[in-house]
Amino acid sequence: LKYNFPLKFTKEHFNCSGSLTSMNLSTFNSIIRPVKNLQFRSGVIDYINFSFTAEDKHASGTMKFKYHDLKIDVLNNVNSKMGLNQKLKSMLANKFKLYESNPGSDGKIRISEINMNHNPYRFFLNYSMQSITSGIESTILKVKTKRK
């Protein structure tokens, strides 16, 4: 992870880039479970490369995220357990909402956009993590979500 904070700007402005290689997605369950109420059942990161510029109001950039064998579990809001309802939601999400791998069956790697509005009440590390998460979501989701 690399940050660059140019001193010529009077408002918040920084550049961030980074990479990650060969890791099980389940490693991130302790981070994603409380935020998204889901966990990675399986999946392997082959590599992630990203770069974005974050300004006072908005962050934008690109991400190349190659992965395979992605499966998630949708968890219960109350106690993070898997009941029948969560199992059905998980099955539907894995079948219809998520790409199991990147590249897909066509062999082409999807390059995703990092696109995040800044919450001015949160520190730059939160802004960075939300920005990176937006790139991951736009890579794995078949149905694009609107970001605040």
State which amino acid sits at residue 57.
K
Kindly indicate the confidence band of residue 144, based on its pLDDT and cuts at 50, 70 and 90.
low
pLDDT reported for residue 83: 76
Is the model more confident about 92 or about 33?
92
Q: In this predicted model, what pLDDT tens digit does every residue of 72-100 receive, in sequence order?
A: 999 877 666 677 888 898 999 989 999 99
pLDDT reported for residue 15: 97
145 pLDDT more than 60: no
Strand stretches in the chain, DSSP E: 2-4, 13-24, 38-55, 58-74, 111-117
CB of 64 within 8 A of CB of 109? yes
24 pLDDT more than 70: yes
Kindly indicate the confidence band of residue 147, based on its pLDDT and cuts at 50, 70 and 90.
very low
Whether residue 34 has a cis bond before it, omega within 30° of 0: no
pLDDT reported for residue 71: 96
